[in-house]
Structure 1
């Protein structure tokens, strides 16, 4: 009896083991994706390169990403040189797709290119689009670059996110390098800053224009030196203005007041409106003067003001021959 029981147990063991072995093989076999399936994305944070790009509203310019900068990553994650990856696109051994990302599931998106044969358009949500062309990416296989661009009419504050990547074609697309792009549109025409003016009659704080060289170049296409040389006080076409910001929804450039401080410059009252210095020392609080030699915007104080007082003013610079070229400062000045 015992011998029969042993035989029965051994037979069951063999059956169970064989069954388990079949299940293990099934569980570990790779899924072969059909042409109409979007393959699952195997998560690998180290195979993702994230790039943050800022575009200036009203001054949109395409930005180029050189893939050669990531040659080491291609070798590490795909065991291929960049040249091999680019060549693989031609023979089909490498695919170039978007990546659809969600909180629970990510996959390769095989949607055909919507921007000719070089890339895709995206809508404001970062979805692939043919009609809503908020942003775009192109791949230049000859130059081995990405070209990322935004619609020239896009407004400041727009943000979107999209992913593209290269993968070895099949059976599972697990060997890859992915590029994640975070795009944002900023308003280059506004510089917001806070300063502290030292104690003392007529003392000032200097704001260095060189700190905003990129803004000046974006707006005017000029260096700081050329920008200052083109101010009207030097015979140029760029003028300094005081700006009324008491109503944030109705910003008003003061185009009628003459300079009331050392040109180009103004005396301003407690709400930032243009006023004049007077011997009674009343009715004026802050001066804003552009010094082209020092390349500084000096914000100074009138005599007799109380320490701790704070003033919010705005001054700006605009090309009188092209009023689309301008930028302005919003300055919170606190007295020490």
Structure 2
């Protein structure tokens, strides 16, 4: 069924010959073109014989020929497992573009900001997967307007995960290769087909590199904690580090092994993760420190200083059985690198202690 739409400042109307006016489910103001122009993004009910909603994008006060997008393939509906009701596969969001960062939507529908170049100016459109009984992960498909092709192109595909226990807050944002879905535009996007490919990406192997992105909150936390630590502001330092813990820091309700490595180990930045592990230990969060530093060493056995930081946290917990081998590993690696003179005196002293003492 074909509708001719006229977008007015008060909403969306159809011409008199339209058979039935669609219901407006969502209306979002936007600035998508990288200039001062304004648009509106509408989610509308689809035709009665179609199991989908309709996505329409048009300039404010547009004529019909100025409509930027009109598709009913992007937003399929599926039957609920609990009733005969149809539910949306994707939710639609308009997010603000800023140089060097991008915003994503987590499974709890909360916004998070990650450090990653994406768009220089203007808003972008996010299609976010939605599944019944799944509050653990979703996919964010980010589309930005290409002024050359005059199309909304898929620029980023992200898997966003929350902790499956504790406070269910964000633990990771991983960028998947865009070719997982192929080079697509929003006009050509088929939501049903995309969902099948995303399910395969989740459960199987995919071609290309998966890259974990750092949240701005995590980056800021380390910067603030490190500054306070170097200045000797003990109270401020420990207070800042407490924000790294989930569930209020309670090991009973939120054990560190359920989130620390998933949240704070960054494969592309092991040095950053090592530094945070060190600071966790200095703040007295030894279990968290050990969990993170073990993850760093497991993936980067050549990172010598991590053995020292790990040994210090074990020692602080009076776990000499694990501390002593870590100190010896650190000392051996330093000696092999010709840096024996830089080994701290405590390493030599503690390495000589019998583990059972």
Scaled by the length of structure 1, what TM-score is found? 0.28
TM-score (norm 2): 0.27
More helix by share: 2
Larger RCO of the pair (alpha carbons < 8 Å, separation 6+): 1
Which structure has more strand as a fraction of its residues?
A: 1
- Computing the radius of gyration from Cα coordinates, the structure with the larger value is 1
